[in-house]
Amino acid sequence: MFHAILSNGSITSAAQALGITQSSVSKQLKNLRQYFGDELFVRSGRGMAATSKALSIAPQISNLITSFESLNGEIKFDPGEIQRDFVISTSDEIQHILLPQILPQIAAESPKSRIIFKTLERDYAAKQLESGSVDLAITLNWHVPEHLKQKRLFSDEFVVMFRADHPLQGKKLSLKRYLSASHMMVSPLGNVFGPIDEILTSYGHKRFVSLAVPYFMQVSDALMCSDLIVTLQRRACMELMRNHPLAIAELPLDVPPISYYLFWHKRYDKDSTNRWLRQVCYNILNT
C-alpha cells in the first residue's frame, strides 16, 4: 500500500492499482502513520506528496516487498475466483489482434474481472508497470530498464500498403518510386522518424511523411481517400485488408524483421495473476 501511494501519487489511484477500496487504503495509511510517527503522505494539489520520512524509508520497504514476493508457498491460483481489472498498455494494432480472442477467454475463465486497454505512453508504461496500475505492456523491442522483464511474442516484416486502385498498383515498387511517393506513418507516441527512416538515412535516402496518425485504425480511411502509402508490419496490413480494398507490395529496401515483446515488472514475475495473464496474451499473439 505504501509503495502504491508513493508510485501513483494519490489514495484513489493507489486503491485502483491494488484493487481495493479507498477506505481500505486510508485505513492502512492511518496505521502506518501511527507506527512510524509521521504523516508519510500529505495533500499536495490533487494528490499526495511524500514526506521526507516516507522518502527515506521507501528503499527499505521496496526491498521488503521484493523479499516477500520471492517466498515460496503461494496460495493456489484460480482465475475464476478473482475480481480485478486486467490492464494492458499497447498500440491499437495489437489491441485489434488481441481483443476478439482475449475477451471471450477472460469472460469464460475469469468472469468477475474486466479488461482495460491503455494506449502506450512515452515511457512505455514503465512507471505504471512498477506501481501495478498496468499489468503488461506489449510493444516493439526497446531499451528495457533493468527493473522490467520481457518475453518475445512474434516477429514481423515491413510491407508497403496503398489503396487497390493506387497509381502504383500493378507496377514494380522500386526504391525510386517508393522515395518519391507521399507517405503516412502510424506513430502512437507522436514521432515522425521511425525505424524505416533510420535505415533510409543510413543509406543516404530520405522519404517525405506528409501525414502522421496515432492510431492504426486511421490508416484505411487515409489511404482510401488519397495517394498516400504506408509502411507497416505485414500482420497489421493483412488485418486491414480483410475489410478494405487495399493492396500490399514488398518493401524495396532490406529491412530486418521486428519483434514484439511482452513487458512486466520483475516485482510481479512470480505473481500468479500476472503469470496467467501473460500466458493468455502469449498464446493469442504467438500464432
Find residue 160's DSSP bridge partners.
231, 249
pLDDT of residue 68: 63
CB 212 within 8 A of CB 190: yes
Taking Cα atoms as reference points, which of 141, 144, 152, 154 lies closest to residue 265? 144
Secondary structure of the chain: what % helix, strand, coil (to 5)? Answer: 45, 25, 35
Q: Which three cell numbers stand for residue 9?
A: 501519487
Provide the residue count of the chain.
Answer: 287
Per-residue pLDDT of the chain (287 residues; tens, 9 = 90+): 677 777 777 878 777 666 677 887 788 888 878 888 888 888 877 778 888 887 888 777 777 766 665 555 555 678 998 888 999 999 888 888 899 999 999 999 999 999 999 887 766 667 788 778 899 999 886 666 677 888 999 999 999 999 999 999 989 999 999 999 999 999 877 788 888 999 999 999 999 999 999 888 899 999 999 999 999 999 889 989 988 999 999 999 988 888 999 999 888 888 889 999 999 999 999 87
Mode of pairing for the β-strands spanning 246-250 and 158-163: antiparallel
Q: Which three cell numbers stand for residue 191?
A: 514521432
pLDDT of residue 71: 56
The pTM of this model reads: 0.68
Please report, for residues 71, 80, 92, 223, 236, the alpha-carbon distance to residue 217 in angstroms, rounded to integers and kept in the order given. Answer: 44, 33, 7, 11, 10
Query: Which bin fits 183, alpha (ψ -120 to 50), beta or left (φ > 0)?
Result: beta
Provide the terminal-to-terminal Cα distance of the chain, rounded to the nearest Å.
38
Tell me the C-alpha distance between 29 and 27, whole Å: 5
pLDDT of residue 249: 95
Taking Cα atoms as reference points, which of 271, 254, 3, 55 lies closest to residue 149? 271
Q: What angle is formed at CA 234 by the lines to CA 233 and CA 240, rounded to 5 degrees?
A: 95
pLDDT of residue 72: 54
pLDDT of residue 88: 94
Tell me the C-alpha distance between 1 and 62, whole Å: 11
Tell me the C-alpha distance between 97 and 269, whole Å: 25
Q: Is the dihedral of CA 281, 117, 183, 241 positive or negative?
A: positive
CB 125 within 8 A of CB 137: yes
Q: Please report the domains of the chain, with CATH numbers, ordered by start residue.
A: 2-69 (1.10.10.10), 79-155+260-285 (3.40.190.10), 158-256 (3.40.190.10)
